[in-house]
Amino acid sequence: MLLLKNERDTGNRLLFIFLYGLAFIGSCVAYIPMFSLVLPAMVEAMVFEQREVLLTQMTFAGAIVASGAGILFGILSDRMYWMTGSRRFLIGFGLILLLFATLGIASSDSFAPLFIAVLLFQAALNMMLASLMAVLADDVPDRRKGIVSGIFCAGAPSASIIGAMVSRSVHHMHQPIIFWCIAATLIIPFLFFRGQRPGVGDGLDKEIRGWPGSWRVLGLAWAARLSVQLAAVAVTTYFYFFLSDRLQLGADHVGDRMSSIAAVMAWASVAAVAVTLLASWISDRTGRRKPMIGASSVIMAAGLMLMAFQPRWELASLGYGLFILGFSTFNALHCAFTAQILPSPSHRARDLALFNLTNTLPALAGPLLVMTIMGSDVFFKTLWSVSALLCLLGGIVMQFARGHR
């Protein structure tokens, strides 16, 4: 009987982790194709000659909303967790609000309503993500944080693959709704799971509480992530325009451009998923994450330099693939590292929301950087070169985060 109970408990824990991983992949499907394919294509179709400027303005305003919403809903999530023992209400409510924002985006026929809908989309998305991310620290043991983080970071490549498939088979005006439906299908099973959660393991709370170096290490990890995310925002926001120019298709070939660029993203994502999961598994087995974080930063920089100095779209696409591979691996290992060093279990969602500023602040600083070089003949060459330096800087800073490997 005891053996059967242990097997049942193990099955429940593995199912929880599986459904949690699917839910996070679903959240990626909700927004990554939207920001990397749908919105650039819609802006380009509405205002072709001002596409970079207006997309930059939209990104800047969206980052402000995302930053505030993440912190606000993180605090609310912590309070609800300590009152009810669950964060799922905010995840579900955020998913519903995301549907209304998605409908607003899909129905926009000019830039102004599209701009407003994107701001609502950012608020709803961060309501959902603030609680979803905190579950990693709440309920996943340290010995499995690497592989779960690997599944997380397989979310972005998986979302790109799904984006490629949808863009080839669905009219671009209907794609936002399809992406939300796929996301909901992946998220809802986790919301209704009632089995045993793994629980926080490996003595995380005991290990971190009172450790005087925890905030210093957290600060270094925050700075490293911020540096790399600045580069990632540049790639996410402007790669579509970068490759669109090299494909040399006319302004009236929106569908052809979307499907071609989505195919490049998909092939890069296949390799990224495999390498990320392997690196995450190795980091769990060895307990060493920082050496592979450093190696991934070098891979990102190499890919960006290839994009900067290769005019042919084939080689530029290879550079993009290297960047995505390195970025996915960096994110997975960094996420696991961060979840192990949060100072207190009583406000994990808030702390992760503050850490998530490394995702949203680059969307504020990035456009300011881009505006200084926009219109230059070497716009993309300069943008990718600076981004490569930022990736290297992030990898170096992580090596100084003492106290954890």
The DSSP-derived string for 76-137 is HHHHHHHHHS--HHHHHHHHHHHHHHHHHHHT--SHHHHHHHHHHHHHHHHHHHHHHHHHHH
Using an 8 Å Cβ cutoff, are 228 and 330 in contact? yes
Residue ranges of the chain with per-residue pLDDT less than 70: 1-11, 48-49, 142, 195-215, 248-257, 342-347, 363-377, 402-405
In a domain, 32, yes or no: yes
In a domain, 3, yes or no: no
In a domain, 129, yes or no: yes
Rounded-to-integer distance, Cα 149 and Cα 154, Å: 8
Rounded-to-integer distance, Cα 171 and Cα 167, Å: 7
22 lies in which domain range?
11-191+204-398
Which pLDDT score, from 0 to 100, does residue 187 have?
95
Using an 8 Å Cβ cutoff, are 160 and 29 in contact? no
Q: Which residues contact 6 (CB under 8 A, 6 or more apart)?
A: none
DSSP state of 402: T
Which pLDDT score, from 0 to 100, does residue 253 have?
53
- Sign, CA dihedral 65-70-73-75, equals negative
Which pLDDT score, from 0 to 100, does residue 331 have?
86
Using an 8 Å Cβ cutoff, are 27 and 177 in contact? no
Q: How many residues are listed for the chain in this entry?
A: 405
In a domain, 225, yes or no: yes
- Sign, CA dihedral 141-145-148-149, equals positive
In a domain, 196, yes or no: no
Which pLDDT score, from 0 to 100, does residue 55 have?
81
Rounded-to-integer distance, Cα 33 and Cα 329, Å: 20
Report the CATH number at residue 164.
1.20.1250.20
Residue with tokens 């600045």: 230
In a domain, 199, yes or no: no
Using an 8 Å Cβ cutoff, are 387 and 237 in contact? no
**Would the pTM count as exceeding 0.85?**
no
Total count of domains within the chain: 1
Which pLDDT score, from 0 to 100, does residue 183 have?
94
Q: Say how many CA atoms lie within 13 Å of 179 toward its Cβ.
A: 36
Rounded-to-integer distance, Cα 33 and Cα 158, Å: 10
In a domain, 403, yes or no: no
CA dihedral 370, 317, 244, 58 (to 10 degrees): -40
